[in-house]
Each structure stands twice: as C-alpha cells, then as structure tokens.
Amino acid sequence: MDLFQINNLIWMLPLICVFAFLSIGLFSKFLPSEGAIISIFSIGFAFILFIFVLIDFISGDLAAIHSSFTWIDLGEWTISWGLLIDRISIVMIGLITFVAFLVQIYSVGYMKGDSRFGWYFAVHSLFASAMMLLVLSDNLLLLYFAWELVGLGSYLLIGFWYEKTSAAEAAKKAFVTTRIGDVGLLIGIIILFKATGTFHISSIIHAAQEGGISNEVIFWSSFLIFLGAMGKSAQFPLHVWLPDAMEGPTPVSALIHAATMVAAGIYLVGRMFPLFELGPGILVIISIVGIVTFILAGAIALVMTDIKRVLAYSTISHLGLMMLSLGSFGVPAAFFHLVLHGFSKALLFLGAGSVMHGMHDQTEVELMGGLRKKMPITSLTFLVGSLSLAGIVPLSGFFSKDEILISIWEYNSWFLPITLFGVFLSSLYMIRLYCLIFLSTARSEYAEKAHESPRTMTYPLIILSILALFSGLLAFPFPFTGWEGFAAFIDDHHKFHMIPWLTVVSILVAFSGAFLGWVIYGSRRIVINNISSPLKFLYRLVFRKFLFDEIYSWIANKIVFTFSRWITIFDRVIVNDTGIDGVGNSTKKSADILKYFQSGYLYNYSLVMVVGLFLMAIAWWLVE
C-alpha cells in the first residue's frame, strides 16, 4: 500500500483537523495564541490539499477517487470504512475548506479577548473535520456518525457563551429539533440496511436501480432520510432552531448556520438522489416542503428587525429554494446555488459581525443607519453580498437562481409563479436590510460612534465579495478549457442552456423587488406604515413568525408533558424501582455475598479449588 497515493491522502483532510482539535483541546494553554494558529494552519493545509486533489480529479477525467480500508474481516462479512471524492463531494470540500479558512482568520479579530479563545478554535477544527467526513463518507453509517458530530459541533458553538441563558436555551433547542430529523435519518438508514444488507451508498443505489428494493421501502426510507435533511437544513416545519442559533458568535453563524452545516441536508438529498428519484411521489413532497419554506421564511425575513435574524430567515428561505430545485430534478442547479449562496451568505454574516463589532454588539437595525461613511469596506462588501443574494444581474446569485428557475420550469412548471414571488421577496428584504443599516443617518449613539473593523476581519470580506461578484461566471462553458459549465460538471446530462424569456422575467422581478426596497427604505418616498396598517393582521402574523414557536410550546407543554407525567409514574414505579433498581440491587447483593467467600484464608482457597476440581470431573462424566 502506497500511503502517499492521492486516494490515501484524502484521509488527511479530516485527520489534520482532528489533530488540530486534539492538540488545541488538550494543550491550548501551552500553545502560542492558545492554538488558534494551529487551527488556521490545519484548515489552510486542508484547502491546499483540496487543490491538489482537485487537480488530480480533473486530470483523471472526473473519475471518482475512492479509498477504503477494512476495519475488521469477520469471515462471512467484512466491515470497511471509506472516503469518496466525486463530483459533488469535491465541490463541498472546496466550499467547506475555503469558507472555514476565511472564517477562522476572521475569528481571530472577532473573538479577541474571549476567555475561551482556544476552545473556540478547537471546536471549529472539530466541526471542520466532521463536516469533511460527512461529505466524503462512502457509507451511510460513517455519514450518520459525522452527521451527529457536526450536530455536536453546532451545539457547542451555539451555546459557546453558555453563561447567557438565551444561548444555552438556543443550543438546546437546536439540538432537540434537529434530533427529530436525525431519528428519521437513522431509521431510514436501518431500513435500507435491512433491505440491502449494506451501508455502502453506491451498493444501495445500485440495488435500488436493479429493482432489488420494493417501492414501498424506497418511499419510506427516502422519506425518513429527507426528514433528517429537513432537520439539518431547517426546512418548515423543523426550521425553528436556526433563527435562535444566532445566539452563537457571528463567525459561527457564517460558517455553520449559513454556508456549510445547514447545506448538509441539501448534500444528503443530492447524494441519495438516484434513490429519491425511484420513490413514488417523494420528489413532490420535497418540492412542496421547499417552496413553502422559501416563501414563508422570505416573508418573515421581511419584517424582522434584528440583523442576524433577517439573515437567518434568508438562509432558511434559500435552503428551501435549493430543496425545491432538488425536487425539480435540478441537482446541479441546487449545488451551484449552494456554493454561491455559501459565499454570499458567509460574506453577509461576516459583514454583520463587522457591523456588530463596530456597534458594541448591537443587532437591532432600528439603532443603526448611516454606517456607509463610517464603515466603508463593510458597507461596500455587504452591498455586493446583498445584491448577489437578491439575484441582481450580473452578480453570482443571479446565475444560480436562473438555473434553478429553468429546472422548475422544465419539471415543475406549476411552481414557477410562486417561486418568482419568492424571488421578489428575497430581493426586497435584502435591499431593505442594506438600506436600514447603511443608508440615511445614524439613529443611535452607537451608530454615531461606529468604526471600521481590523484587517483580519475586512480582508476575508473583500475576498468573499470578489467571489460573490464573479463566481457566477462558472455557470458558462469556457471555450478551449474543457469546462462545460457547472451543471455539466455535476452531471454530464445537464448541458448549459438558457431560456431567454425566463431570464428576462427573473431580471425584472429581482429589479422590481430591489427598486421597491430602495423606494421604501432608501429614499423613503413611500412610508411603510401606509402599506402595513391595512394589512395589520397579516403583518402581525408574519412578525410572530406564523406562530410556530407558540404552537410548538403549546404542544410541548399541554400534550407532550401531560403524556410524560403519566409515563413518569409508570417509569418510576415499575420500570425504575422494580426493573432497573431491582436488577441493580440484586447484582450488588450477589456481589456482597461473593465477598464472604473471599475470606483471605489459604485453606478456604484450596478447598474451593478442590471442590472445583471435583465439579469439573463430574461435569466430564456427565458429558460421557
């Protein structure tokens, strides 16, 4: 075995970050800058490794790179673990390593002076390695393990300032809500294992395509796996944890709750897509969940006044758009949007962090305004991110959104009008957010004293905004280079094409949303109260986020807890006192009795030996 072959080197991707996690976790006190430097170096190394792997992958005609090792060989069956680089995992690795690298550099400035500075970077490394393991894993068991590990990383980072009650509560909420999806995922994986006898994704898909799995099994397993994806990717109605997750440090929101972890659900559906395709009706469910998420979250984003919450709902909304794209056979379009949205949204969150840094951690947009002059770099880069997400031509978000619209038109044309309305909403709320923060005049003392952030924070912003500006060009085929457009890179069958009238419509919709936003919030020609007062009921419903939190806490308090109280009585009296404690106590009692035999006297010991000898002899004669 040649250890330095490229397919074995891909193990280094997750391992280097595990190494960083362990060394910082154990020795952060003894390391320079509490180990932050190790974390940044290892993720940077992973990014460089990614480039090497990418070159190898492309020069190998996009053939999958696979590396697996036998864990144990049990004669009849062998358990092996493996990593797989293919067209979608390489895209994900690129996004993860690159954004994580920038976010970690940014964090040096943002987290300066925090009492758990080293631990912050340790968990970042843990998260990065778990995330890479998740997208590289070639089997569902390892994927599930990484899936939970990613959840753990998210939990630790949301509750990073656990002294704050709201942060601890938010971490708990995220953990519990995603857990509902995770249970579904686990059951789905087990059903597939029962049906095929393997955890390997390629074998499962192969078996399904050969007709080795019944339609019913495919439907239920895909549905349950999709439930897992809904939890992680914050789809309605499991979206409630993501806005609260903004309690974590802002760079965490940029990395985990915008660019990478929440995309894991999209990735999972994309990875298992050949299976989903075969399940009757499953794509329709995905499309409906996607479009409902897209519209409702977009509407909520329009009325939120907390900078991070607007971005959070915007993230939910765009994840819904990606799901909708997957449901419309637009796997390449969904991944394209995933990457471009990842860049833009990371940029916006980091920009929001920069604003908060200058504003003494204020997040309320009502207190901001007029920051354009005081924070020029942040303002400019934030504008780029906003326009990109709003889908204004020619920024990157426009191109990926256009590809999604094409998929929807071709496979799910019924959804197109509603989707266009969602596009309108998303350009409206992005421009609203930009205008409220950066235009007009300062509305508070904080805003008047705001200042630009240090370079470790602004440089990542500049790099990301360059990407948000130009990465959309990847949609086009480049002549003479062999690049046939992003869609063809993901799937050979998807050739690059445009539908001119649809492009024109989408440009118009995005511009009209942006224009309306500028008119209301920028130039203030229309006064917002004139619109919102007739629609007061609707406004309040949206402002209270369609009452999801209230409904959930009512269900939890009235139904679940009542049920739990009854169960508790059963559990205390029967399960615990007679079952668990009974077994435990009798085990302990028998151990106590055994103690008397251990008398310490030699003649007792030898007597027991002789008795044992006789018993053995008797046993042998009994067998005869």
Partner 1 sequence: MTNNFSLLIPEFLVTGLAFLILSLDLFISEKRKNHLVWVGVIGLFGILIITLLIFSNGILYQGLLVFDDYTNLFRIFFLIAGIIVLISSNEFVKSNIKYQGEFYGILIFTILAAMLLASSSELLTAYISLELLSFGLYVLVSFDRYNLKSNESGVKYVLLGAFSSALILYGISNIYGVLGTTRFDEISLMLVSINDLNPFLILGFIFLFAGLAFKLSAVPFHMWAPDVYEGSPLPITAWLSVGSKVATIALVLRLFCESLLEIGNEWQLIIIVLSVATMLIGNLGALVQTNIKRLLAFSSVGHMGYILMGISALISINEDGSISTGMTTLVLNGIIFYVIAYAITNFAAFTSVIAVYNHTAKDSISDFAGLSKRAPFLSLVLVCSMFSLAGLPVFAGFTSKFYLFNAVASQDLLWLVGIGIVTSLISLYYYLMIARQMYIEEGIDLSSINISLSIKLVLGVLLVGMIVGGIFPSPLMDLIELASEALIS
Binding site for partner 1 (CB under 8 A): 26, 69-76, 587-588, 590-592, 594-595, 597-598, 600, 602, 604-606, 608-609, 611-613, 615-617, 619-621, 623-624
Q: Between residues 69 and 414, which has the closer beta carbon with respect to partner 1?
A: 69
Query: How far apart are CB 604 and partner 1 at their closest, in Å?
Result: 8
- The sign of the dihedral angle between the CA atoms of 490, 496, 502, 508 is positive
Q: Between residues 70 and 523, which has the closer beta carbon with respect to partner 1?
A: 70
Q: Between residues 63 and 623, which has the closer beta carbon with respect to partner 1?
A: 623
Q: Between residues 76 and 210, which has the closer beta carbon with respect to partner 1?
A: 76
Alpha-carbon separation of residue 9 from 49, 59, 82, 410, 552 (angstroms): 8, 17, 12, 41, 46
Closest CA to 370 of 451, 449, 438: 438
Query: How far apart are CB 592 and partner 1 at their closest, in Å?
Result: 6
Query: How far apart are CB 23 and partner 1 at their closest, in Å?
Result: 12
- The sign of the dihedral angle between the CA atoms of 138, 144, 145, 146 is positive
Distance, CA of 190 to CA of 451 (rounded, Å): 54
Q: Between residues 449 and 588, which has the closer beta carbon with respect to partner 1?
A: 588
Q: Which residues of 12-25 are buried (b: 16+ CB within 10 A; e: fewer)?
A: ebbebbbebbebbb
Distance, CA of 294 to CA of 210 (rounded, Å): 35
Q: Between residues 163 and 624, which has the closer beta carbon with respect to partner 1?
A: 624
Query: How far apart are CB 585 and partner 1 at their closest, in Å?
Result: 11
Query: How far apart are CB 119 and partner 1 at their closest, in Å?
Result: 14
Distance, CA of 111 to CA of 104 (rounded, Å): 10
* Class of residue 580 by CB neighbours under 10 A (exposed 0-12, middle 13-18, buried 19+): exposed
Q: Between residues 151 and 391, which has the closer beta carbon with respect to partner 1?
A: 151
Give me the phi and psi of 140, to 5 degrees please.
-70, -30
Query: How far apart are CB 129 and partner 1 at their closest, in Å?
Result: 14
Alpha-carbon separation of residue 427 from 149, 262, 437 (angstroms): 35, 21, 16
Provide the 10 A C-beta neighbour count for residue 526: 12
Say if CB 371 and CB 358 are below 8 A apart.
Answer: yes
Q: What angle do CA 542, 304, 240 make, to 5 degrees?
A: 70
Query: How far apart are CB 8 and partner 1 at their closest, in Å?
Result: 12
Distance, CA of 429 to CA of 513 (rounded, Å): 8
Q: Between residues 500 and 600, which has the closer beta carbon with respect to partner 1?
A: 600
Query: How far apart are CB 584 and partner 1 at their closest, in Å?
Result: 8
- H-type alpha helices, 359-484: 371-374, 376-390, 396-411, 416-438, 445-448, 455-470
Distance, CA of 515 to CA of 607 (rounded, Å): 97
Q: Between residues 72 and 569, which has the closer beta carbon with respect to partner 1?
A: 72
Distance, CA of 379 to CA of 156 (rounded, Å): 31
**Identity of residue 454:** P
Strands (E), 213-299: none
Q: Between residues 73 and 492, which has the closer beta carbon with respect to partner 1?
A: 73
Q: Between residues 569 and 591, which has the closer beta carbon with respect to partner 1?
A: 591
- The sign of the dihedral angle between the CA atoms of 508, 343, 261, 5 is positive
Q: Which helix (H) or strand (E) holds 78?
A: strand 78-85
Say if CB 15 and CB 129 are below 8 A apart.
Answer: yes
Q: Between residues 75 and 500, which has the closer beta carbon with respect to partner 1?
A: 75
